[in-house]
Structure 1
Amino acid sequence: MNSSAVKLSLVQMRWRGNHSDTMAAATELVEQAAESVDPAARQGGHVICLQELFATCYPCQAEDHRMFDLAESIPGKTTDALAELARRLEVVIVCPLFEKRAAGVYHNSVVVLDADGSIAGMYRKMHIPDDPLYYEKFYFAPGDVARRDIDVPRDRPNGFNIITTRYAKLGVGICWDQWYPEAARLFALAGADILLYPTAIGWIDEEKDEYGAGQLDAWMTSMRAHAIANGIFLGAPNRVGIEGQVEFWGNSFIVSPRGEILSRGDDHSDQVITADCQLAEMDVVRTHWPFLRDRRVDAYSDITRRFID
């Protein structure tokens, strides 16, 4: 991290029905995000984050073995294309994918492509849901637990460790991870400047009228709380469009270390949501709200228990 100012952009979009058209749309939106910044005036760098499983449909609404055909290796065709885009635009691109790690081993993953096109790091979703229309446990193995006793290669995931890029240190979770304060705290303690949560969440038609507003509010409130509790910038790009029985609700947003909403999308449009992240603000917030200073680290050992009987 060479700069104290980072432009953060979130790409919110609908799936186009196939990989090639979706990649073309995503490329156009990434280029649009990059063009919104005057390189001569830019103090720092530019981080652009795509939504969860952006290159495919959301595959988990049923337990369907044919959906495994959507997965790809890392590196692969999607990361290769976006790596060239990152290099050409000199931006960091956060690329969430359906990963085939090995025969029979699949993950819901993120690859972070640095501004020179290299792989800065990876993350594999740690918390895997199993809800109606979100049958992810059928498809995805959880990410591996962090190893502190060995040197992990830069392009391999390692629990809740941060990913260091040219412009910022990133803590990247995926969707269901966003509900867990433990994960956000670990990313922050490891030195992240920005938390990112690429997401695929939406309304089920028969629930929307009664529960929809509350579900959306809870989703945003949970992540705003992570930003406040850790004094950190946070961005969450979400899908839009109707796929199967789910209406993805968009509302991608970026918040400050005080939890203020800096920028927010609507619930239906392809959009780029952008905000300036002045990283020096984190120290100001953390010294005025010294939550990290006052943690009783000697008193929290029970947090690693499933339940305190």
Structure 2
Amino acid sequence: MSKVNVGLIQLASDERMEVNIEKTKEKVREAVAKGANIICLQELYHGQYFPQTVSVDNYRLAIPLEHEALSEMQQLAKELGIVLIVPFYERVAKGIYFNSAAVYDEKGNYLGTTRKNHIPDGPQYHEKFYFTPGNTGYPVYDTKFGRIGIGICWDEWFPEVARILTLKGAEILFYPSAIGSEPDHPELSTRAAWTKAISAHSIHNGVFVAAVNRVGQEKEMNFYGGSFISNPLGEIIQSLDDKEGILVEEIDLHEIEFTRNLLQFLRDRRTDTYGPILGKEKISG
């Protein structure tokens, strides 16, 4: 199968988990009605972005893989015959919590979980207090509709993540996100930088990129949406604005081979010279 319909669900989140679950299920059905085969939800889809503040009480928001917020999406994937990427706040054990994304295939099979590797810490992005750094590495999932890899929010800014997923065979890179206003610089929007930086992974690796963000005001933060899909030449082929919405776009995986034959970045890599990136050589400054 070379042509695939990719769907992204961009929503404003409610404080009530049950509201988010039901609204998301409704929007997933709408995306499937428009032809979506693979759908990705936004980061921490089942709740609001709680790392704005530091509070031990927020640990109670973490849920196990068996929670209804996951099981209902798993059932939905099977019912609709789609691949569904479900980001959530994962409780593994007492005091061990991850920022994760579970993947379900069109038969409702659980394919695995990607856990966020790069954990940011800054004003209103206090994630190091809540999330243990991921321990799943960078898995790639073989699905009926193509090979997919996932980087969760801060992961998406690191070119190493995109390159590793590409080298492991991913054809579509999904980036569930929660990014918006900067409290120290309220006059600044990072949306243009976000779009450019993340879509550039398409060019460097000859892959499709699908980034999905949330929207709306949550306490002191405003999330700007801007979910998009870029092709292997880095062109934004469809995007959303700063309102709730559904994005469904047909992509042709044959474009990957064409682009890689045109721009031979993978052929011309010089891994023998990359020691400084791995800390194997001293970097003077």
Verify same fold: TM over 0.5: yes
Letter in 1 for 2:251: C
Match for 2:214 among 232, 239, 259? 239
Counterpart secondary structure, 1:262: strand
The more displaced of 45-54 and 177-186 is 45-54
Q: Secondary structure, in 3 states, of the residue corresponding to 2:45?
A: coil
Aligned mates of 1:73, 1:193 — CA distance in 2: 29
Instruction: Give the corresponding residue for 1:153.
Output: none
- Structure 1 position 285 matched with structure 2 position 259: yes
- Indicate whether 1:122 and 2:113 are aligned: yes
In structure 2, stretches of 5+ residues that fail to align are: none
- Count of residue pairs the alignment pairs up: 283
Report which stretch shifted further, 291-300 or 87-96: 291-300
CA distance in 2, matches of 1:79, 1:243: 23
Residue 206 of structure 1 and its aligned partner are, at CA, apart by 6.3
Q: Give the CA deviation at 1:70.
A: 1.0
* The one of 205, 224, 229 aligned to 1:254: 229
Q: Does 1:101 align with 2:95?
A: no
3-state SS of paired residue (1:227): helix
Q: Is the 8 A contact 1:205 1:247 kept in 2?
A: no
Distance 1:204 1:24 in 2: 30
What residue is the counterpart of 1:24 in the other structure?
22
| Partner Cα distance (1:270, 1:224) in 2 | 21
1:162 matched to 2:152: no
Map 1:1-309 to 2 at 5 A. Answer: 3-37=1-35, 46-144=37-135, 158-204=136-182, 207-209=185-187, 211-212=188-189, 215-267=190-242, 269-305=243-279, 308-309=283-284
One-letter code of the match for 1:36? Answer: K
Structure 1 unmatched runs, 5+: 38-44, 145-157
Rounded Cα–Cα distance in structure 2 between residues aligned with 1:168 and 1:198: 18
3-state DSSP class of the match of 1:106?
Answer: strand
Q: Is the 8 A contact 1:204 1:245 kept in 2?
A: no
What is the Cα deviation at residue 17 of structure 1?
2.3
Structure 1 residue 302, shift from structure 2 partner:
2.4
Partners of 1:241 and 1:224 in 2: how far apart? 23
Normalised by the length of structure 2, the TM-score is: 0.96
The offset of 1:79, in angstroms, is 1.3
Name the counterpart of 1:155.
Answer: none
Q: In structure 1, what residue type is equivalent to 2:43?
A: E
Give the aligned residue type for 1:9: G
TM-score of the superposed pair, with normalisation by structure 1? 0.89
SS of 1:197 mapped into structure 2: strand
Q: 2-side partners of 1:135 and 1:206: how far apart?
A: 14
- Between the aligned partners of 1:204 and 1:224, the Cα distance in structure 2 is 21
Residues 87-134 of structure 1, C-alpha deviations (whole Å, 9 max, x = no match): 000001100000001111000000011111111121000000001000
Report the alpha carbon displacement of residue 301 of structure 1 after superposing the two structures with TM: 2.4
Percent identical pairs in the alignment equals 38
